[in-house]
Amino acid sequence: MRRKDREVKEIKDILKIIDKCRVCRIAMADKDKAYIVPLNFGYFYKDKTLTLFFHSAPAGRKIELLEENPEICFEMDFEKGLVKRDSACRYSYLYQSVIGEGKISFIEDRKEKLYAFKRILKHQTGANEDFIFDENIVDKTLVYKLIVTHISAKANY
């Protein structure tokens, strides 16, 4: 990281940034180019392991690429706004961001799939309730997780 003064090192502080983010972008390899998609997500951190959960339709370019190569990069950020200064070259932007790498795996186990759905909804809504899911939709939706193998964060407060 070039700007060491903006590096966020403590996992508790990184998790605080993740708590503010609602969209995670995952980047996949598509032969000789990159392919990136924004996804809503949920997460769980335990025993020094961060797991991100996603859901989507069970088919499409993203799924084909993940089946071919589950190693991905991700990025999420939280904006605070533009800082105007006396000179255009001195303008700045307040933000917090997290980037990382990991491996995607598809969740087949129904209990784990429902757990992932609950983590996604808890993160997106802030509600800590016992959500009820439509069985037909659960069966038709693909749910997958990313076990994070590398993470870094940066902030300009």
Q: 16: how many CB neighbours lie within 10 A of its CB?
A: 15
Instruction: List phi, psi (to 5°) of 16.
Output: -65, -40
Confidence grade of residue 148 (pLDDT, cut at 50, 70, 90)? very high
Confidence grade of residue 153 (pLDDT, cut at 50, 70, 90)? very high
**DSSP-H helix ranges across 10-147:** 11-20, 61-68, 110-125, 135-140
Q: Could you tell me the residue range of the domain that residue 95 belongs to?
A: 4-156
The CA distance from 22 to 94, in Å, is 17
Confidence grade of residue 90 (pLDDT, cut at 50, 70, 90)? confident
The CA distance from 156 to 79, in Å, is 10
CATH of the domain at 138: 2.30.110.10
Confidence grade of residue 91 (pLDDT, cut at 50, 70, 90)? confident
Q: How many folded domains does the chain comprise?
A: 1
**Residue 3 reports pLDDT greater than 80:** no
